[in-house]
Amino acid sequence: MKTIALVAHDQKKDALIAWARTHEAQLAPHRLFATGTTGGRLKAETGLAITPLKSGPLGGDAQLGAMIAEEDLDALIFFVDPLSAMPHDVDVKSLIRLAILYDTLMAVNEATATGIVRCLAD
């Protein structure tokens, strides 16, 4: 069992929900965390057991960063919207920087997220 975080910018939430539904069987055996609205939608719209964190701008990104720094997170799946300005962009960059620094599996789009769940299934 791995610990996986699921995060999506507002314009990518629908895509993450659709992706999670498609990969529900591969995700279900793992401990899943998600920030704010994304976590609420995943709980409501899939059969996955999600541990909710705070909204990203209200500390959820920091909570995930702490999990990465403590090496308590095996994979970060973060559907990033590259076309929208984010008011908490500094927090997002910090989270990505920590994932890189601690060599945490990280996906930023559907293709890489699918690769990660396939890798974790092996």
Q: Which residues are catalytic?
A: 61
Q: Pull the structure tokens for residue 56.
A: 């990203």
Helices 89-101 & 60-69 angle (0-180, nearest 10): 10
Collect all residues with Cβ–Cβ distance below 8 Å to 71 and sequence separation of at least 6: 102
Quote the CA–CA distance of 57 and 60 in Å, as a whole number. Answer: 7
